Amino acid sequence: MKIDILNINGKATGNSVDLPDDVFGIEPNEHAVYLAVKSYLANQRQGTHKAKERGEIAGSTKKIKKQKGTGTARAGSIKNPMYRGGGRMFGPRPRKYTVKLNRKVSKLARQSAYAMKLKNGGFKVVEEFTFEKPQTKQYVGFLNNVEAGSSKTLFILNDYDQNVYLSSRNVPKAEVKHINEVSTYDILHANQVIVSAGAIDSLKKSMA
C-alpha cells in the first residue's frame, strides 16, 4: 500500500512510501482499541486521594455526654463521623488504578488505530524538515499547508527535533511526539495524524 509524500508546503513531492499491510491493511479490532484506551486513561490517575477517618482525626477521646438519660443516641467521641469535624465514613484511600494490557493486545490496538485513521482520511506522510529556530508562525503555516490547521493534530517524528517541538507548544490542539512515545489514545484523539517519512521505517520495526 503506497501513499504520497507531501512537502512542508503541502504539495506532493512525487515520491511515495510503502505502508505495511500488516498495520494499515488490517480490519480494525474495536475491542482491542477500547481496552488500550481504557488502560491508558486509567494509568493517568495518580490514586493519591485520601480522607481522614475517625482514627486519624486529632481530638479528645473524652466521652462527650453521659450514656443514658439524654433522650438522644449514645455518643462516645467527638471524632464520630456524625459530628462536624469528625472523621469521614468510608472515605477514599490511596489505591492503584493501573489496568494491565497484554503486549499483543496493545500492538493490535495501535495497528487498528492507524488503520482507522488511514481509512477515514486522517493520515498523511510528509518529508523530513526542520526550522532554523523555534517559531509558532512557521508551524501554524505548515499545518495550514497540509490542511490540518483547525483540527486536532498529532505530528509523529522519527528523530526528536527541538525546534519543531518548541514551535508547536503554543498551538492549540497540536501535539508533536517521537514515534516511540505514541499510544493508541494519542492516535485516536487526533483528527489528523501526520507522520514524517523517516518514521514509517521505525513504525514497521516496532510493529514487526
Q: What is the pTM of this model?
A: 0.83
Model confidence at 179: pLDDT above 90? yes
pLDDT for 178 equals 94
pLDDT of residue 61: 84
Query: Domain coordinates of the chain in residue numbers?
Result: 2-45+98-207, 48-96
**pLDDT score at 60:** 87
Smallest CA-to-CA distance from 112 within 25, 205, 3 is with 25
Q: What is the CATH number of domain 2-45+98-207?
A: 3.40.1370.10
Read off the pLDDT of residues 54-113 as tens digits, 9 standing for 90 and up.
Answer: 999 998 888 999 999 999 999 889 999 988 999 999 999 999 999 999 999 999 999 999
Burial of 59-72, coded b for 16+ CB within 10 Å and e otherwise, reads eeeeeeeeeeeeee
Percent of the chain residues topping a pLDDT of 90 = 82
Per-residue pLDDT tens for 2-57?
899 999 998 999 999 999 999 999 999 999 999 999 999 999 999 999 999 999 99
Q: Is 82 helix (H, G, I), strand (E, B) or coil?
A: coil
- Residue 196 is predicted with a pLDDT of 94
